[in-house]
Amino acid sequence: MNHGSRYRIDFPAADRLDRSFVDGLPGIEFRWWEPLARHTTFRVGGPVWCLARPRDEDALESLMKRVRERSIPCVVLGGGSNVLAPDEPWEVLAVQLNLACSGLVVEDLEGGGVQVHAGAGVGLSRLLRCCLRSGLGGLEFLVGIPGSIGGALVMNAGTRDGCMHDVLEWVELMDRGGRRRRLNVSEIPGGYRSMGLPEGWIVLMACLNLRRTPVARAKAAMRDIMKKRRSGQPVEWASAGCVFKNPPSLSAGELIDRAGLKGFRVGDAEVSTKHANWIINRGRATASDILCLIRHIEGEVFRMFGVSLEREIRVLESQPGT
């Protein structure tokens, strides 16, 4: 079966993880052995060797150059909304972009158009509030989706009403060595739950094409979408949103429901009774609980319907060295 996205990083040699790594790297906040449970929407995850929060793009560039020089294993965490982090201590550098890539600028264009330049670390809720204040429409499909611009771009977040590729003008990227690159939307394929960006590159900023909309109309539309989400999705619980991609012409949630798995639990991880494609943390779930539940769902759906579900979330897995 196709279990979808996994992200595995080998444990490095101990001499590469000396704290001298930070020497000569100003403008970066470092947190040693920081629990990822504090930084993921599932609220699970053990400590990483170091969590780095660069304060601007120059500091991020310096950090990534150091990472390449020393071959430090690195993962960009973003808003932590679409990942399952491991329970065990993880000898890896996790990088957050919420400080380095926090810009949000509205620009009026000749001819009546409007664009928003949004940093990858900008939360989707902040972006939507900006749209409301500025009377902008076009991003209503993001209402109620957790996370940040960067993650939304990588995953081409959206609903049947639209997706990020629909409003994208260009995206600015940085590779793991600090080199920058800008891609226009015509160079980016876009697809279901994937923007098709170059593998391993970090999203820095995006330019989005929006439209002027009366504030009252935008508020009403967002309020209606949020009301529907609350009635049909367990947004009140810690989760990562939809766990699986919809198979062609099928609904993953419907398949899981038909398999009789709504309410099925492993520890404190539960298949939501509101929406079967959501797994919720009822308070004390571990990553192991959630992963065990994911595998059980995959097995039951394949056994009953012959359908291999593909994961929408990234399962971050550490691999101890020998």
Nearest C-alpha neighbor of 131 from the set 226, 217, 29, 249: 217
Spot the catalytic one: 91, 140, 312, 314: 312
Q: Which residue has the tokens 């094409």?
A: 209
pLDDT over threshold 60, residue 1:
no
Nearest C-alpha neighbor of 132 from the set 228, 229, 214, 226: 214
Domains of the chain: 6-95 (3.30.43.10), 104-218 (3.30.465.10), 234-319 (3.90.78.10)
Classify residue 306 as left (phi > 0), alpha (psi -120 to 50) or beta. left
Residue 107 known to be catalytic: no
Length of the chain: 322
pLDDT over threshold 90, residue 265:
yes
The whole-angstrom separation of Cα 215 and Cα 212 is: 9
Q: Which pLDDT belongs to residue 3? A: 46
Spot the catalytic one: 50, 74, 131, 242: 242
pLDDT over threshold 60, residue 11:
no
Spot the catalytic one: 53, 66, 193, 311: 193
State which of 13-17, 68-72, 280-284 shows the largest mean pLDDT.
280-284
H or E segment and range at residue 211: strand 202-212
Residue 182 known to be catalytic: no
Q: Which pLDDT belongs to residue 318? A: 60
Residue 193 known to be catalytic: yes
For residue 143, list its beta bridge partners: none
Q: Which pLDDT belongs to residue 15? A: 53
